[in-house]
Structure 1
Amino acid sequence: MTPEPALSLADAVREATAVLAAAGVPSPKVDAELLAGHLLGVGPGRLRALALGDTPAPAGYAELVAERAQRTPLQHITGVAHFRYLELAVGPGVFIPRPETESVVQLVIDWLKDRAPSARPKIVDLGTGSGAIAGSIAHEVPGAEVHAVEFSEFAHAWAAKNLLPLGVHLVRGDLRDALPELNGSFDVVVSNPPYIPAEAVPNEPEVALHDPPEALYGGGADGMELPTAAAASAARLLVPGGYFVMEHAEVQAGWIAAMLERSGLWSQVATHLDLNGRERATSAVRKPDARSDERIGQ
């Protein structure tokens, strides 16, 4: 009996795209190509070139497509998340970084570039998760002293893989009381804390079933307990004139800006849009006050 000829790469990707589309995967063709490229060890451009010929589908491709059709995150299957210029190791137990957060990193880089607070600026990322923000700043700001804080044991382990090779000082701790020995010493505090309200279960199965709940829900009915705590820690950790930027949901922008204004600790409060035009982040500059002056003088 003559065996069936191997499916070509082009046909396999076409079939995989149909399978993923039927499963409701948001970007079926892209994901089908990325899974094939993962197995072949090639990028999208090379993959498409190979698909023009008679290259066979890679072994195990159907199994990976079936796993993705079950809405297992693509990054959990490949073990890699791409973020700005980094390839981050990710998997179960850590929040997968989103493209929208890249604009938060850019806000920090632009602020440092415009103001150059010191030859060796000192930055801390509160709730670093996989280390996407802290790692990108360490990679893109030469000479920066970057610290990162993560509470989750599992996320901390993933962050260690990603951040230690970049020279980031990673500690396991709670963003609410982290690094008291470094109060008043940071030029920048950045945070993408959990901020989803308690009852707002995400629609996407990849998020609802696979992102760790402690990385999603911000505490309290409105989800604002941890964002509020991140702002309080930022006020404690920053030098006078230091910069704070925090990611949040679009609907929370007005509340967060008002909260920062009401505290009396911040000036230049501003809301920033992401690449999709959504109010994704809020920044502010730490005002000088007697407490911070005394702390820095100690």
Structure 2
Amino acid sequence: MSGTETRVVLREALSVTTQRLGRAGVASPSVDARALIAEAAGTARPLILLDVLPDGFAAQLEQLTARRERREPLQLILGRAPFRRLMLRVREGVFIPRPETELALELLREHASGPLENLVDLCTGSGALAASALDEIPAARVLAVEIDPRAADLAVENLEAAGPGRGRVLRADLTADPAGPALAELAAAGPVDAILSNPPYIPPEAVPRDAEVLEHDPHRALFGGGEDGLAVPRAVISWAARLLRPGGVLIMEHADVQGPAARDAAARIGGFEQVSTAVDLTGRDRFLVARRAAGDPTPGSERLTR
């Protein structure tokens, strides 16, 4: 097949695949079609530069397209997801990193006071925030905490790829008894310079509409517990109050309607100052930013809510 013939095949493939994905309800059919075609062609180069297609291209593209038509997330089909400067490994059964979460690293740089050498990522999932911190802050060492074994195993891979030897993953339930042995390692980690977290926070009645989310993101990574979805986020705030050094900062993602409740939780738990809500790139409330108060004694385990 000549280069001209290859480009004819690619144009037809792009047209047909885009139409199929559009009919299936995929939000970005042309973008996804290009990604699937590149995957089937085994290339990271622009499609226009391809002169030769591998044997089995058509069959491979058909298989990939059929999976996306069934609304399997593109990231799972490709086995990877971009996050800031990294290309993270993703896997079925583990929460897929979202672009809006990337802003947490910018907020960390903006609000940090003093060095960023010891960090904790609570509810790390695939390890996206922890891995990005290792990648972008060369002096940092990161402890990532995750309850789900599949997610924890994946986080180990992503952290080691981003910062060999500088990150570790702890399997633990943040809402468990803080005095129990499972959380002893986390309790011993403080004082730390910063805590990042993208915990589950969806209220029980707010069922996601997108098939990609509802059918492929694990519910444990979506629903935060309690009537307002903030049971796990409150546990994150409590651990931040316990672990942060004076002046250390918590950056925690939440739903766009949970800003007031998250600030109220930080105030009730205590030990913080300069508590505020940061917006995402669309102007929606998205992150709790709370600085550990200087001179305030570290809250005891009795403040760690379940």
* TM-score, normalisation: structure 1: 0.88
Partner Cα separation in structure 2 for residue 227 and residue 132 of structure 1 = 18
Q: Aligned-pair distance for 1:221?
A: 1.8
For 2:139, what is the secondary structure of its paired residue? Answer: coil
For 1:15, what is the secondary structure of its paired residue? Answer: helix
Matching residue's letter, 1:173: A
Contact kept? 2:246, 2:296, Cα under 8 Å: no
Contact kept? 1:126, 1:193, Cα under 8 Å: yes
Matching residue's letter, 2:279: L
1:181 aligns with 2:188: yes
Q: Deviations over 1:67-113 (max 9, x none)?
A: 1000011111110011011111111111000000000121113334x
Contact kept? 1:9, 1:54, Cα under 8 Å: no
1:83 aligns with 2:83: yes
* Runs of 4+ in structure 1 over 6 Å off: none
Matches within 5 A, 1:18-167: 18-43=19-44, 46-50=46-50, 58-59=57-58, 60-112=60-112, 115=113, 117-118=114-115, 121-165=117-161, 166=163, 167=166
1:199 aligns with 2:205: yes
Using a 3 Å threshold, how does the CA distance of structure 1 residues 54 and 293 change in structure 2: closer, same or farther? Answer: closer
Q: Aligned-pair distance for 1:22?
A: 0.4
Contact kept? 2:41, 2:53, Cα under 8 Å: no
Q: Aligned-pair distance for 1:41?
A: 3.3
Partner Cα separation in structure 1 for residue 199 and residue 174 of structure 2 = 9
Partner Cα separation in structure 2 for residue 241 and residue 293 of structure 1 = 15
Contact kept? 1:8, 1:54, Cα under 8 Å: no
1:264 aligns with 2:270: yes
Equivalent residue, structure 2, for 1:229: 235
Equivalent residue, structure 2, for 1:285: 291
1:244 aligns with 2:250: yes
Q: Aligned-pair distance for 1:293?
A: 9.5
Partner Cα separation in structure 2 for residue 76 and residue 70 of structure 1 = 12
Q: Aligned-pair distance for 1:64?
A: 0.5
Using a 3 Å threshold, how does the CA distance of structure 1 residues 22 and 129 change in structure 2: closer, same or farther? Answer: same
Matching residue's letter, 1:74: L
* TM-score, normalisation: structure 2: 0.86
Using a 3 Å threshold, how does the CA distance of structure 1 residues 264 and 160 change in structure 2: closer, same or farther? Answer: closer
Partner Cα separation in structure 1 for residue 62 and residue 246 of structure 2 = 56
Gaps of 5+ in 2: 302-306
Partner Cα separation in structure 1 for residue 169 and residue 265 of structure 2 = 29
For 2:297, what is the secondary structure of its paired residue? Answer: helix
- The CA RMSD measured in Å over matched residues stands at 2.2
Matching residue's letter, 1:147: L
Contact kept? 1:267, 1:285, Cα under 8 Å: yes
Q: Aligned-pair distance for 1:55?
A: 5.8
Using a 3 Å threshold, how does the CA distance of structure 1 residues 111 and 39 change in structure 2: closer, same or farther? Answer: farther
Contact kept? 2:197, 2:251, Cα under 8 Å: yes
Partner Cα separation in structure 1 for residue 48 and residue 261 of structure 2 = 46
Contact kept? 2:119, 2:193, Cα under 8 Å: yes
Q: Aligned-pair distance for 1:290?
A: 5.3
Using a 3 Å threshold, how does the CA distance of structure 1 residues 155 and 54 change in structure 2: closer, same or farther? Answer: closer
Q: Aligned-pair distance for 1:260?
A: 1.6
Using a 3 Å threshold, how does the CA distance of structure 1 residues 66 and 271 change in structure 2: closer, same or farther? Answer: same
Using a 3 Å threshold, how does the CA distance of structure 1 residues 293 and 99 change in structure 2: closer, same or farther? Answer: closer
Matching residue's letter, 2:36: L
Partner Cα separation in structure 2 for residue 293 and residue 149 of structure 1 = 20
Using the aligned pairs only, state the percent identity. Answer: 43
Using a 3 Å threshold, how does the CA distance of structure 1 residues 245 and 33 change in structure 2: closer, same or farther? Answer: same
